[in-house]
């Protein structure tokens, strides 16, 4: 069996023990404890069982500690927009031109906006990208209620009057 991972000597053993004890949060304590347990000779699968985390998490934490030191475990997480074509301010500026049309009451569709977005991005994008862009900026889909082409308003009103169980009489 392979020996456990080696921990780089960023801190002495005493400093490492104090560092683990002074963890500000429960998650930080788990990360630091994983590094400590690996340092004293436990394998990643044993540490993951003790701390109820995945082996990959233990490997990640020990690798981050070994590469960048104790400060590397203070990371926030991976949230946010990491892959995007335009920044939020650029997207907002792009939609600013369409706001004038919308405020005048003209109907705008994603298909109408699509060529402008493609030109602003400078590459081929999908129509789904346009829908997500509109949703990101709180543009919502408003449209008239669909009506059948052959619908007859007077026949509908007459039907409402002559039905036995109308919703009003329940």
DSSP 35-92: HHHHHTT--HHHHHHHHT--HHHHHHHHHHHHHH-GGGGG---S-S--S-SS-HHHHH
Under DSSP, the state recorded for 108 is: -
pLDDT, tens digit, for every residue of 64-115? 999 999 998 887 777 777 788 999 999 999 999 888 888 887 878 889 999 9
Residue 168 above 70 pLDDT? no
Give pLDDT, residue 107: 78
Cβ within 8 Å of residue 2, ≥6 positions away = 43
What pTM was estimated for this model as a whole? 0.49
Phi, psi of 11 (to 5 degrees): -125, 155
Report CA Rg, the chain: 30
Give pLDDT, residue 166: 52
Give pLDDT, residue 137: 92
Mean pLDDT, rounded, for 153-163: 87
**Binning pLDDT at 50, 70 and 90, where does residue 62 land?**
very high
Tally of CB atoms within 10 A around 75? 10
Give pLDDT, residue 60: 93
Mean pLDDT, rounded, for 137-148: 76
Give pLDDT, residue 120: 94
**Binning pLDDT at 50, 70 and 90, where does residue 4 land?**
confident
The two three-digit tokens of residue 164, written as one number? 């036995």
């Amino acid at each position: 069996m392979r020996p456990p991972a080696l921990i780089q000597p960023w801190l002495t053993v005493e400093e490492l023990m104090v560092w683990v004890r002074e963890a500000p949060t429960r998650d930080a304590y788990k990360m630091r404890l994983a590094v400590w347990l690996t340092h004293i000779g436990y394998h990643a699968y044993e540490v993951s069982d003790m701390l109820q985390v995945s082996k990959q998490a233990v490997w990640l934490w020990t690798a981050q500690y070994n590469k960048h030191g104790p400060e590397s475990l203070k990371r926030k997480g991976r949230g946010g927009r990491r892959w995007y074509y335009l920044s939020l301010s650029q997207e907002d500026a792009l939609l600013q031109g369409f706001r004038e049309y919308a405020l005048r009451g003209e109907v705008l569709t994603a298909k109408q906006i699509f060529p402008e977005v493609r030109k602003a991005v400078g590459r081929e994008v999908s129509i789904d990208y346009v829908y997500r862009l509109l949703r990101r900026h709180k543009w919502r889909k408003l449209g008239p209620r669909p009506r059948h082409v052959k619908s007859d308003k007077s026949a509908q009103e007459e039907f409402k009057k002559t039905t036995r169980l109308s919703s009003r009489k329940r």
